[in-house]
């Protein structure tokens, strides 16, 4: 019964967002393959990389983990041209076979489809996954293995890096100013970094969003040195985090 329900939702996604599996294949065209060390997909390969080919082969045999992995590859453009249509197809297959991350993705897309077809959404209803499933975010590694993404802090979006070595969501004073964050009155604290000990101001971030995940009241830190925004453990410890190749999956149950 559950598998049938997931399959129905998946078909809804294909119809509303994609236009059906047959048109999806036509829209994306033939696959072009790339190596795992070519994150910008600049140099096509003559055949699928062995890692991609293995995932594709096992997914075709209904290996649920590899079905979801293949969906992520198509969604993020890792080792193959991006194709949201094919991503949706493989998420549907994985969801039908019981994968919880895929089910969350399917549920989120169904909610988005309903919002697009209904009245204008407001505030946190826009893009919300709903209360009946986990929230999910996918982050792809870029360059030397850094997992880069966009983060929305109190309604404003900036680039960021996932950093399990950072205690808090950390940023420079310049970025904090651009985000409109008042930090001068925050408690000062010493933090050890790769460049030595620095003094930072502790702040509380009302809302932090990465992909489909939104958390409230996340501890942050503002330093005087120039740095990218680091999504540290004050956010990451509240989600489940796994990596597969160059793709990180974050899930908030």
Q: Name the percent of the chain lying above pLDDT 90.
A: 43
Q: What is the pLDDT of residue 101?
A: 86
Report the distance separating Cα 103 and Cα 136, nearest Å: 10
Between these two residues, 84 and 109, which has the higher pLDDT value? 84
Is residue 219 within a helix (H) or strand (E), and if so which, with residue range?
Answer: strand 213-223
Handedness of CA 233, 136, 172, 206 (dihedral sign): negative
Q: Which of 16-25, 150-159, 204-213, 229-238 has the lowest mean pLDDT?
A: 16-25
pLDDT at position 253 is 79
- Does residue 27 have a pLDDT over 50? yes
Which pLDDT value is given to residue 117? 52
Q: Is the pLDDT of residue 33 over 80?
A: yes
pLDDT tens-place string over residues 1-24: 444 444 444 443 443 333 333 333
* Confidence band for 115, pLDDT divided at 50, 70 and 90: low
- The ranges assigned to domains in the chain are 2-123, 135-252
**pLDDT score of 2:** 42
Identify the pLDDT of residue 192: 61
Helices (H), 133-252: 173-178, 233-236
Fold type of domain 135-252: Cathepsin D, subunit A; domain 1 (2.40.70)
Q: Where are the alpha helices (DSSP H) in the chain?
A: 2-13, 21-28, 50-60, 64-76, 84-96, 100-117, 173-178, 233-236
Q: How confident is the model at residue 252 (pLDDT cuts 50, 70, 90)?
A: confident
Query: With bands split at pLDDT 50, 70 and 90, how would you rate the model's confidence at 248?
Result: confident
Q: Could you tell me if 208 and 169 are in contact, meaning their C-beta atoms sit under 8 angstroms apart? A: yes
User: Which pLDDT belongs to residue 13?
Assistant: 40
d(Cα 56, Cα 69) in Å, to the nearest integer? 9
Structure tokens belonging to residue 132: 């009946």
Which has more confidence, 142 or 90? 90
Averaged pLDDT, 160-177: 92
Grouping H, G, I as helix, E, B as strand and the rest as coil, residue 211 is coil
Question: Averaged over 75-98, what is the pLDDT?
Answer: 92
Q: First and final CA of the chain: distance in angstroms?
A: 22
Neighbours of 199 (CB within 10 A): 11
């Amino acid at each position: 019964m559950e598998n049938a329900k997931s399959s129905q939702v998946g078909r809804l996604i294909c119809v509303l967002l994609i236009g059906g599996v047959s048109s999806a294949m036509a829209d994306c065209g033939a696959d072009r393959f790339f190596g795992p060390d070519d994150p910008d997909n600049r140099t096509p390969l003559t055949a699928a990389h062995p890692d991609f080919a293995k995932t594709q082969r096992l997914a075709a045999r209904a290996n649920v983990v590899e079905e979801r992995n293949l969906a992520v590859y198509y969604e993020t453009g890792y080792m193959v041209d991006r194709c949201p249509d094919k991503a949706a197809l493989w998420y549907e297959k994985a969801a039908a076979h019981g994968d919880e991350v895929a089910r969350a993705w399917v549920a989120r897309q169904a909610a988005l489809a309903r919002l697009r077809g209904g009245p204008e959404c407001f505030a946190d209803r826009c893009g919300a996954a709903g209360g009946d499933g986990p929230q999910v975010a996918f982050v792809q590694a870029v360059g030397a293995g850094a997992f880069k993404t966009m983060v929305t802090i109190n309604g404003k979006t900036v680039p960021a890096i996932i950093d399990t070595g950072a205690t808090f969501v950390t940023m420079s004073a310049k970025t904090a100013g651009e985000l409109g964050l008042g930090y001068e009155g925050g408690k000062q604290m010493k933090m050890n970094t790769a460049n030595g000990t620095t003094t930072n101001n502790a702040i509380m971030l009302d809302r932090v969003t990465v992909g489909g995940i939104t958390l409230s009241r996340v501890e942050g830190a503002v330093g005087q040195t120039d740095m990218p925004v680091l999504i540290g453990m004050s956010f990451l410890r509240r989600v489940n985090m796994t990596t597969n190749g160059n793709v990180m999956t974050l899930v908030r149950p």
